[in-house]
């Protein structure tokens, strides 16, 4: 009862958890086989569709936290994502050898964004992008993050960022078909369906809107999902509903704090093994053959 009282009405993280748990799975054992969890992304191969989320400020969790997190992803042969942080930090992250997607904030100053895109390219990032859902604060003004002003970006500005780099440009924080279609029109090469761990109350759970976005995107670009992924079953449900891969953030914090890169690696491997366990019991031989019809809505 105490627990229940603490949940604020409209808490998007809670609504998202409830939605994950409302999705049930049938089993298909006949003609089964051992599953393959390999992911192909932007022409490269990885052992798992479980990726780290675009995190930041992890020095609060562990010294050099962002680089240690990336090292964990590299040990798991997984894609690493990096959020806000200076150039020196990104160099440490990519220096671990982790194949990294660098997410840049929607700064007011587009010249600064272009400078950071060029720097990510120089560092050998595998892709670059923007968390466009960080333009506004909760009270209807422009957001200010670590003293830096943010602005919403137009489809034309997105096109400029896409054109500015030879790397795939991805947009994080897509939670509508309208934004997904604008991203496609701008030449964006991947989207993250996300509400940025509850940036707005009553945000639709990513998995609830995912099938609509998948229909609109029609496999033209990869679709990633984050927010509340805590288990291999969660990963499976996201993939079954059309995601190509998922990002995991908060569920990696304790492993990072307690066991550093090895802890992150072990957690990513265990999420992948749980995913494989569900794939085996639902008749999915590989990521491309996870059948959405195994999902039942409670």
Residue ranges that bind ligand FMN, judged by CB under 6 A: 53-57, 83-84, 103, 131, 172, 194, 196-197, 226-229, 248-251
Nearest to 248 by CA among 15, 50, 29, 27: 50
Residue closer to ligand FMN (CB basis): 83 or 222 = 83
Query: Which two three-digit tokens encode residue 216?
Result: 């609109």
Q: Please report how close the Cβ of residue 283 comes to ligand FMN at its closest, in angstroms.
A: 28
CB-CB contact of 75 with 54 (8 Å): no
Identify the CA nearest to 241 among candidates 298, 183, 295.
295
| Beta carbon of residue 57, minimum distance to ligand FMN (angstroms, whole number) | 6
Tokens, residue 140:
């209807």
**Shortest distance in whole angstroms from residue 298 CB to ligand FMN:** 22
Measure the CA–CA gap between 45 and 23, rounded to whole angstroms: 29
Contact (Cβ atoms closer than 8 angstroms) between residue 245 and residue 39: yes
In the bound state with ligand FMN, the residue whose beta carbon lies nearer, of 12 and 294, is 12
Assess whether 197 carries a catalytic annotation: no
Output the CA–CA distances (angstroms, integers) from residue 102 to 1, 40, 234, in the order listed.
41, 18, 24
Instruction: Between 28 and 197, name the residue whose CB sits nearer to ligand FMN.
Output: 197
Nearer to ligand FMN, 199 or 278 (CB): 199
Terminal-residue alpha carbon distance, the chain: 23
Tokens representing 298?
A: 């409670």
Smaller CB separation from ligand FMN, 90 or 279? 90
Give the C-alpha separation, 170 to 7, whole Å: 33
CB of 248 to ligand FMN, least distance (A): 5
Catalytic residue of the set 14, 57, 196, 289: 196
Three-class DSSP category at 7: coil
Q: CA geometry: angle at 51 spanning 47 and 53, to 5°?
A: 170
In the bound state with ligand FMN, the residue whose beta carbon lies nearer, of 90 and 276, is: 90
Q: Which two tokens stand for residue 194?
A: 């996300």
Q: How many CB atoms lie within 10 A of CB 205?
A: 23
Q: Which residue is nearest to ligand FMN (CB)?
A: 83
Q: What minimum distance in Å lies between the beta carbon of 27 and ligand FMN?
A: 27
Identify whether the C-beta of residue 160 lies closer than 8 Å to the C-beta of residue 149. Answer: no
List Cβ neighbours of 289 (8 Å cut-off, separation of 6 or more).
none
- Residue 206 CB, nearest approach to ligand FMN (Å): 9
What is the rounded CA–CA span in Å between residue 233 and residue 201? 25
**Residues recognised as catalytic:** 196
């Amino acid at each position: 009862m105490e627990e229940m009282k603490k949940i604020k009405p409209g808490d998007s993280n809670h609504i998202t958890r409830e939605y994950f748990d409302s999705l049930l799975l049938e089993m298909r054992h006949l003609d089964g086989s051992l599953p393959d969890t390999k992911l192909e992304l932007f022409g490269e191969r990885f052992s798992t569709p479980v990726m780290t989320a675009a995190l930041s400020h992890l020095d609060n969790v562990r010294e050099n936290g962002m680089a240690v997190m990336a090292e964990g992803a590299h040990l798991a042969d997984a894609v690493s994502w990096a959020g806000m942080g200076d150039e020196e930090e990104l160099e440490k992250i990519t220096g671990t050898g982790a194949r990294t997607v660098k997410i840049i904030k929607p700064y007011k100053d587009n010249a600064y964004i272009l400078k950071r895109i060029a720097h990510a390219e120089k560092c050998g990032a595998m892709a670059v992008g923007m968390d466009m859902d960080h333009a506004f604060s909760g009270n209807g003004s422009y957001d200010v993050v670590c003293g830096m002003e943010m602005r919403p970006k137009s489809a034309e500005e997105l096109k400029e960022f896409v054109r500015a780099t030879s790397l795939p440009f991805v947009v994080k924080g897509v939670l509508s078909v309208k934004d997904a279609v604008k991203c496609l029109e701008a030449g964006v090469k991947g989207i993250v369906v996300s509400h940025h761990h509850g940036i707005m109350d009553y945000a639709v759970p990513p998995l609830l809107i995912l099938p609509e976005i998948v229909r609109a995107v029609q496999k033209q670009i990869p679709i990633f999902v984050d927010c509340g992924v805590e288990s291999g079953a969660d990963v499976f449900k996201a993939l079954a509903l059309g995601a190509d891969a998922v990002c995991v953030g908060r569920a990696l914090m304790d492993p990072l704090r307690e066991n550093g890169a090895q802890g992150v690696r072990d957690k990513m491997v265990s999420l992948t093994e749980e995913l494989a366990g569900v794939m085996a019991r639902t008749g999915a031989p590989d990521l491309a053959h996870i059948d959405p019809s195994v999902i039942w809505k409670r």
